[in-house]
Amino acid sequence: MRVDLMRRLALVVALLVPPAAFAAEAEPLAADPALEERVMQLSHMLRCLVCQNQSIAESNAPLAVDLRNQVREQFVAGKDEDAVVEYLVARYGDFVLYLPPFKGTTLVLWLGPVLLLIGGAGWLAWRLRRRVTEAAPPLTNDERARAAALLDGTANTSQEPRS
């Protein structure tokens, strides 16, 4: 949720470039573009409760607009990202967060991929070790060779390796 310094700088630079002489420089919609950037960054992490799976940054539903205003007001009042998140969670619950917090009910969610990875790696290691030691069953191999030879058109194409 940290605001990207470079992005902010780029924005500031973009705004400081002097406008062409004949035209007026358009005003940013937000009074404070840097603040707006921060509001939008956080808004992308927050779910619009009445929408079909959109963040409050993407939605223009009245509640999403209200919540964005809340976020902005609280930033202006000097609260940081964590405090704003806490404020919203106190009212709407974890449902409002697109990044679920790490706690009892999300244990499987957060550890699941790690466990899957460990399980997969373990199975892989076991499988490979077994594979190295075991000999191929002769019958199947024989059949496989026969089929492969017939399918390949035997030796005349074998100089063309396929990979």
Partner 1 sequence: MKAKFLVPLFIFLLLAGFLGYGLKLNPRELPSVLIDKPAPQFRLAQLSAPDVAIANADMRGQVWLLNVWASWCVACRQEHPVLNGFSRQKVVPLIGLNYKDGADDAKAWLREHGDPYDTSLVDADGRVGIDFGVYGVPETFLIDQAGVIRYKHIGPVTPEAVRDVLLPKIAELKRAG
Partner 2 sequence: MIPELGHFSLILALVLAFVQAVVPLVGASRNRLALMAVGRPAAQGQFLFIVFSFGCLTWAFVTSDFSLQLAATNSHSETPLIYKITGVWGNHEGSLLLWAMSLSLWTVAVTVFSRNLPDVFMARVLGVLGCVSTGFLSFTLITSNPFDRLLPGAAQGRDLNPLLQDPGMIIHPPLLYMGYVGFSVAFAFAIAALLSGRMDAAWARWSRPWTTVAWVFLTSGIAVGSGWAYYELGWGGWWFWDPVENASFMPWLLGTALMHSLAVTEKRGAFRSWTVLLAIGAFSLSLMGTFLVRSGVLTSVHAFATDPARGLFILALLVLVIGVSLVLFAWRAPTLSGGGSFGLVSRESALLGNNVLLAVASGSVLLGTLYPLFIDALNLGKISVGPPYFETVFVPLMTPVIVLMMIGPFVRWKGDDGDRILRKVAPGLVASAALGLGLAFAIGHVSWRTVLGLSLAAWVLIGSIQILVQRIADRRGAAPGARLRSIPSSWWGMWLAHLGIGVFIIGVTMVGSLNTQIQVKMMPGDTAQLAGYTFTFRGVKDSPGANYAAARATLDVTRGDSKIATLNPEKRFYQAQQMPMTEASIDIGPFRDVYVNLGDQLEDGAWVVGLFYRPFISWIWLGCTLMALGGVFAAADRRYRRLAEREVPVGAAARQVA
**Which residues in 94-113 contact partner 1 (CB under 8 A)?**
95
Smallest gap from Cβ 90 to partner 2, in A, equals 14
Give me 106's structure tokens.
């999300």
For residue 84, the minimal CB distance to partner 2 (Å) is 16
Q: What is the CA radius of gyration of the chain?
A: 29
Which of partner 2, partner 1, none lies near 81, with the C-beta cut-off 5 to 8 A by kind?
none
Partner interacting with residue 78 (select from partner 1, partner 2, none; CB below 5-8 Å by kind):
none
**Alpha helices for 59-157 (secondary structure H):** 62-76, 81-92, 107-133, 138-152
Q: What is the number of other CB atoms lying within 10 angstroms of the CB of residue 1?
A: 13
- In 3D, which of 57, 65, 39, 66 has the Cα closest to residue 98? 57
Is 121 a binding residue for partner 1 by CB under 8 A? The answer is no
Site for partner 1, rule CB under 8 A: 49-50, 62-63, 66-67, 70, 89-93, 95
